[in-house]
Structure formats: structure tokens, C-alpha cells
Structure 1
Amino acid sequence: MAERAEDRALISGVGQSEVGRRLGRSDLDLTREACHRALADAGLTVGDIDGLVAWPGEWPAAPGFCGPALGRVKDALGLELSWHAGVQDGPSQLAAVMSAVMAVASGYARHVLVYRTTSEATGQAGGGRDTTSPADVTGVIGLQEWLRPFGAVTAAHWLAMVAQRYLHETGATREQIGGLAVSTRRWAGLNPAAVYREPLTIEDYLAARMITTPLCLYDCDVPADGSVAVIVSAAETKADLRSPVRIEAMGSALGARPFWDQWADPLDLPQRDAAHHLWSRTELRPGDVDVAQLYDGFSILTLVWLEAAGFCGRGEGAAFVADGKRIGPGGELPLNTGGGQLSGGRLHGYGLFHEAVVQLRGGLGERQVEGAETAFVGAGGGPLGGCFLLAH
């Protein structure tokens, strides 16, 4: 195989700020904390960083969604940059990490700092969510023509339709899917940084209030305030780094129309194409993966990722997670070992990426997956799909 971008870059450092509900801290403060922790983790200084990229960058969105602008972060950290970017569109939220890999591989930078910061918990407390009713919508076109007039104004509505179709086509039950929420809460109980750590039972899950059928409260991730930073470094700097993690492969795809409501098969989202792309770039296979961190903005997305990545067959995801044994501590595929976003807090895939790296490094106590050498990270839902295979 010809030399790939993945061969020219390493994950040299990761850092995560305090994560919680309505922390009362500014997005810039959280970002600084995550970035300084990533620098210390990598064994680098501010002066070593010559690239900066964020997801999604400046973008019209609900309060707290985007995080601080690149210029504010540059000034706050005192960076001197040769390359920078904000990535709104791309193969999932992890497009910013992929862009950093490309920048390093092409020689634009040697050490690129990536950050994702959200203060959505605080932003939503201020009434920042869209509360538009169907009666308020007139003259909408495109994506919104088939969603907003019918009351489908959030991703919860859009993914609930996928979940309902999944139950109909596969014969799966809500009780089976609930095994995912129960398992991730168990993992969260082992993670001091998780937002919700108290035990959750399947009875609790089934008794929870419905958000949008068939998704209940525990099928939805937890809005949080927090930040994650990732440093991507040139492979030739390996000797200068504390404990780099290798990028075995990346995957991205956009083969169908990029709209939530216009897939030929609602259960065959871009995650399948992204995973296929990743596996085409490595000789490793799903059976070689020791730990998986799969996007759980909503529980149905984790099932889609499990099937798309080849960890189980089509329509088998619900059965795979049903009792939590296969995905919990000591299971055949430890899944979302930091508590995911369902219990750990919504960081749009970056908390999952952070957890994959620290799992490969080892030393996490009860939460540690014994002998973990390879980790699969999948992010995105709906028309977004991107994934990494990391190794140490």
C-alpha cells in the first residue's frame, strides 16, 4: 500500500476539561483547560504548536454550541500559527481531527491543536433551543420542507423516525435497546469525570418519560459544558513525544444525498460507507478491535454504528447490546467505556476520541480494558459519518 496520510501523523496528546451541567465557566476558560492538559499530555509547549483547528468553528447555531472562535483561542494561548481552520462541513464532527492529519501529512504544520468546546447546558438554560411549532412554519424549502412543517424540528425527531423504522424492520424491542443505556451508565460509574454516575436499571429506562417515540430520556445524550483538545503531530517527531498513539486508518464517505430525510434506506446511513472506507485502508478487521467508542447522541446511532462497522450483522445491534454483557466490563467488545455521551456528557464525539486514546495508554483502574491495543472511534449520525482506528 502506498504511503498514507495516516502514516505521517500521530495522536500525540489529548486533554479534557471539567465536564458538567451548567458549570458557570466561559467556553474560553474550558478550552484553555483542555488545551493545556493536552500539551502536558504530549510533552509539548505552546511554542511547539503551529496549527489550530476547531469543530465547527464560527457558525450560526444555538447558544453554547460552537465554542470560542479560533482567534480568541489563538490569543488566549499565545500561539504563532502557520495553519488554521474551522471545519463546519465534513465527515462527522471528527472532520477537524482529519483536517489536522492532512495538514501535518502535507507539511503545513508539525503540531496541530484541535479543540471542540460546548456550553450547551448553559446555553439551553437560557432558552436557546428552537421551539418553533408546525403552525409557525410557512414557505420552507429543501430539508425543512419535509420536516419542520410536521413538527420535526430537532435531531431527536429525525432520529426517532430512524429508531421506529429499526424496531419495525428488525423486530427489536425497546427493552433490548435499553441495554445500551444501562451499560454506559455502568461504565460511567467507573469514570470520575462522567456527568451521571449513579446506577441505572432497565426498569428505570422503561419507566423514563418519552421524548419522541420511541426515544425516551435515557436514549438521548446529556447536554453539557466541556471541552476536549487533541494534538496531531508529525510522525518524525515521535522521539520528542511522551506516549503517542498511532493512526491505523481513517474513514469518511458521502455517497448519498446529504439530507436527513432522503436516504434510500433509513437504516443504511453514511456510517456504513465511512466504515467500509476505513477497513479498505487497513489489513485489520473488526475482530481485531479491543475497545469501541461509538457515537451515542441517540442510542439508535450506536446500533447503526455497531452494524455499519461490522461488529455485528444488519439488524443485530439491539440483540448485541441487550443485556449489556457483551459491551460492558469484561465483555467481548467493551463499548463507550467512559460512559459515552448518554451518561458522560455530550461532547460531539470528542469525549469518545479522548477515551479511546487514554484506554490505549492504560492505567485507568477498574475502567481499564485489559490488553487494549486497538480502538475504533465512530462519530456522526444522519448524513454525517467519520471514523478512526487507533493503535498503540
Structure 2
Amino acid sequence: MTTPMGHTVTRGSVAIVGAAESDLGAVADRMSPIDLMAQGVHAALADAGLALKDVDGVFCATTQSRFSAMALTEYLGLPNAFTDNTIVGGSSFEIHLAHAHAALELGLCNVAVVAYGSTQRTVGRRAASQREYNPYETPFQPFLPASAYAMAASRHMHEYGTTREQLAEVAVAARQWALMNPVAWEKKPLTIQDVLNARPISEPFTVRDICLVTDGGGALVMTRADRAKALKQTPVYLLGSGQSITHANISSMPDLTHTGAIESGRQAYAAAGVKPADIDVLALYDAFTLNTILFLEDLGFCKKGEGGPFVQGGRIAPGGSLPVNTNGGGLSYCHPGMYGLFILIEAVRQLRGQCGQRQVNGAKLALVHGNGGVLSAQATTILGGPSTV
């Protein structure tokens, strides 16, 4: 894995040693996004057995604070910390992990935290994220991001024969996993017919094809591998990362059925020295049911166009052959606007064996895939337990 400045980072040289969510769901008026970030940082440090005084690297992003790194370092009292405020939507945190990997290996910091917070549900969708004017799209008044993803779904259905029922399978599988997650937002069983009969949002999607709108946040703690071995939790090692930004606006997407996950996955697999068949558990950014199908294809778990049939029959649900989004995903667990941190937290817990009823037995390798914008910014991270390094 090579950084933009040409430095090649070492597979497994850093590890995630702390992971925690902040309050989730609806936090009313008692918390700000920075409050939630700080709450997540303190909880993740406690998980790691470290203290705030140990932290000298801060990586964060949120749509609700333009200068979130400044705000968080001020809040935590860390004026000299190495900071990174990269923001490319929901995949920002997978990119933060790659940046932190390089910073830790180069000695720019010794203990890094990656944090997120959002009060999107409390303040309302429009207040949480103001969209820029786009002369090619804004005059048509699309309902973004739903209309953009719906357009990609319609194209996938047209090209490959993907059905509404197959899209609904993704939502049903996510709900089945969520029923085993004590902190998941949705707690009622869901059927394919429930998805199809739900309130229409943007053709072909109903509200059950679309992620939740919740508040929430969390944090990860990272350090170099030699120090990680002496800390409280089983280290989870960063084995490989990749990223690809193909466009900003959906009207400029090169191909509505092929995402940058093809390239980000290629980079991550090469850096980690693994292939899709080696992966034990997947954590995919499922803002829409289409996402899971696209990413399964583009990351090599099935051929292009075969994602719909691939998810049928409970293959990605509890008891299926490929565990996907074991926390319930953005569709049923939580989705506070930028979801990429939460899939990393779940992957860490799976590799530690801490997921209780939803635990994937013998999980050693996890693939986490983040998505930002409207299928715009793709970032893939491969994590491994101690036996993988």
C-alpha cells in the first residue's frame, strides 16, 4: 500500500486497539456532533485501556462541523495533535484508517483516534447536510441522494434483470442480523413483501430499501503493532487499504453499474495479500439495498450482474454462507449520515469474537467497504486478527 507521497506502508504494522459507539438513535437536544465524537473517543480509549493523555493523533469528519478536527482537538484539549479532517462522505473513515496507518508508521503520531458524530435525526436531514448547487442536476429537483441511487438501481435492473424481490432480500437479511444486535434501531421482523409494500420514495425504492436516519457517533483507537500487543484488547491489524473516487455527481458517473470499488478492492487485496474467498465476514456500506449488490459484484464475490441472484435464499443472512453486515447495517442498525465508521467498529468486534449471538465463528479476516457521496468515493479496508500477521 503506497501513500500519495510515495511511502509504502507495511502490512500489519498498525492495529486497532479500541472501538466504541457513542449514544445512538435519537439524542434529542442534549448532544452536539462534537459531544458524540468525544463520547466515542473516551469509550474507545477505555476499551483499549488507554487514556486521553496518550492520544497525539486525531482523525475525524462530519457534515455538521466545517472544521471538526479543530473543534474536536479543542474539546479534548489536544492542541499539539497530528490532525486529519479528510471528508469524502461516508467512506471518509476507511480513508482515515489508511492515513493513520501511514502517520503511525512514519512516527508522526503514536496513538491515533478516528471519530465521528452526527445529530442528523434530531436537527433534520436538510439542516445536517446542505447540498451545493449543481447546474446539471439541481434544476430538475432530484430527491438526493435517493434519486441518484434509484437511477443506478433502475439501470442495474435494466441491464442484468435484477428484480425488486432481490433488492428486498438485502433489507430482509439486514433486519435479521439487526434482531440479534441489542443496540440496533429496528426491532421488528421484516419480509420481502413488507419491503415491496412500504411507502414509495424514488422508483424502484420504497422506504425499506433506504437507510435509517439516526443520530450517533463513535471512535476507533489505533497504534503501532508492537505497542498493541501489550494493551487490553486483542489487536485487529490493518492489512490493506484502497480507494477510488470516480466522480462527485451522479450525472458524471462513468457507468451506473460499475463503481470505484473495483479499483479500491483491487488495491486492498493486493496490499493484504488475500482474495475474496479468504474473507470471513463483510461489512459493506448499505445506504441503499442496491449498494450491497453492487459491492458484492465489484469486490469479487460474484460476477457483474449476478448480485441479485447471489443474495437470494438467505446467503448473506444469519445462517447463510457469506455473513454480510452482521450488525444490521445502515438499513436496520443505525445510519447517522456518514456510516463508514460503524462498519469498522463491527468488523473489529467480529475479529475479536465479541458479537454474541451474531458472532461469525472463527472470523479471522474482515473486509470493510465504505461508500461516499452518490456512489462517488469508494474505500476498501481489510482487517485481520493475530493469526493473519
Q: Give the aligned residue type for 2:22.
A: S
Give 1:69 deviation, angstroms.
2.6
Query: Unpaired runs of 5+ in structure 1?
Result: none
CA distance in 1 between counterparts of 2:353 and 2:40 reads 20
Match of 2:376 in 1: 383
Question: Which of 249, 257, 262 matches 2:252?
Answer: 262
1:163-182 to 2 correspondences below 5 Å: 163-182=153-172
CA contact under 8 A between 1:47 and 1:80: conserved in structure 2?
no
Question: Which of 9, 14, 21 matches 2:14?
Answer: 9
Match of 1:44 in 2: 50
Question: Does the alignment pair 1:341 with 2:334?
Answer: no
CA distance in 2 between counterparts of 1:369 and 1:305 reads 20
Match of 1:72 in 2: 71
Is the alpha carbon distance of 1:331 and 1:45 closer, same or farther for their aligned partners in structure 2, counting shifts above 3 Å?
Answer: same
Is the alpha carbon distance of 1:227 and 1:68 closer, same or farther for their aligned partners in structure 2, counting shifts above 3 Å?
Answer: farther
CA contact under 8 A between 1:303 and 1:318: conserved in structure 2?
yes
Match of 1:120 in 2: 120
Question: Which of 240, 246, 249 matches 2:240?
Answer: 249
Is the alpha carbon distance of 1:282 and 1:363 closer, same or farther for their aligned partners in structure 2, counting shifts above 3 Å?
Answer: closer
Query: Unpaired runs of 5+ in structure 2?
Result: 3-7
Give 1:67 deviation, angstroms.
8.7
1:103-142 to 2 correspondences below 5 Å: 103-124=103-124, 128=127
Give 1:196 deviation, angstroms.
0.9
1:101-250 to 2 correspondences below 5 Å: 101-124=101-124, 128=127, 144-242=134-232, 243-250=234-241
Is the alpha carbon distance of 1:251 and 1:129 closer, same or farther for their aligned partners in structure 2, counting shifts above 3 Å?
Answer: closer
Match of 2:84 in 1: 85
- Say which SS state the counterpart of residue 302 (structure 2) adopts: coil
Give 1:257 deviation, angstroms.
4.4
CA distance in 1 between counterparts of 2:171 and 2:142 reads 24
CA contact under 8 A between 2:67 and 2:85: conserved in structure 1?
no
CA contact under 8 A between 1:12 and 1:232: conserved in structure 2?
yes
Match of 2:39 in 1: 33
Is the alpha carbon distance of 1:78 and 1:248 closer, same or farther for their aligned partners in structure 2, counting shifts above 3 Å?
Answer: same
Q: Give the aligned residue type for 1:35.
A: V
Give 1:276 deviation, angstroms.
1.3
CA distance in 1 between counterparts of 2:90 and 2:144 reads 20
- Say which SS state the counterpart of residue 240 (structure 1) adopts: coil
Give 1:180 deviation, angstroms.
0.7
CA contact under 8 A between 2:120 and 2:128: conserved in structure 1?
no
Give 1:91 deviation, angstroms.
9.4
CA contact under 8 A between 1:50 and 1:111: conserved in structure 2?
yes
Match of 2:364 in 1: 373
Give 1:129 deviation, angstroms.
7.1
CA contact under 8 A between 1:186 and 1:197: conserved in structure 2?
no
CA contact under 8 A between 1:177 and 1:322: conserved in structure 2?
no
Instruction: Give the share of equivalent positions with the same residue, in percent.
Output: 32
CA contact under 8 A between 1:82 and 1:108: conserved in structure 2?
no
1:347-358 to 2 correspondences below 5 Å: 347=336, 348-358=339-349
The range that moved more, 33-42 or 233-242, is: 233-242
CA contact under 8 A between 2:209 and 2:331: conserved in structure 1?
yes
Q: Give the aligned residue type for 1:107.
A: G
Question: Which of 276, 282, 300 matches 1:310?
Answer: 300
Q: Give the aligned residue type for 2:76.
A: L
Q: Give the aligned residue type for 1:49.
A: V
CA contact under 8 A between 1:91 and 1:386: conserved in structure 2?
no
CA contact under 8 A between 2:20 and 2:218: conserved in structure 1?
yes
Give 1:248 deviation, angstroms.
1.4
- Say which SS state the counterpart of residue 113 (structure 2) adopts: strand
Give 1:289 deviation, angstroms.
0.7
Which whole-Å deviations, capped at 9, do the CAs of 1:365-392 have from their partners, x for residues lacking one?
2111111111100011511100111111
CA contact under 8 A between 1:93 and 1:349: conserved in structure 2?
yes
Q: For this pair of structures, how many residues does the alignment match?
A: 373
CA contact under 8 A between 1:66 and 1:117: conserved in structure 2?
no
CA distance in 2 between counterparts of 1:102 and 1:353 reads 18
TM-score normalised per structure 2: 0.89
- Say which SS state the counterpart of residue 221 (structure 2) adopts: strand
Which whole-Å deviations, capped at 9, do the CAs of 1:313-342 have from their partners, x for residues lacking one?
11111112223x211112211010001000
Question: Does the alignment pair 1:55 with 2:61?
Answer: yes
Q: Give the aligned residue type for 2:357.
A: E
CA distance in 1 between counterparts of 2:70 and 2:128 reads 26
CA contact under 8 A between 1:67 and 1:119: conserved in structure 2?
no
Which whole-Å deviations, capped at 9, do the CAs of 1:70-123 have from their partners, x for residues lacking one?
333223333353411211248932222222222112210011111011110012
CA contact under 8 A between 1:329 and 1:369: conserved in structure 2?
no
CA distance in 1 between counterparts of 2:300 and 2:276 reads 6
CA distance in 1 between counterparts of 2:123 and 2:271 reads 40
CA contact under 8 A between 1:17 and 1:227: conserved in structure 2?
yes
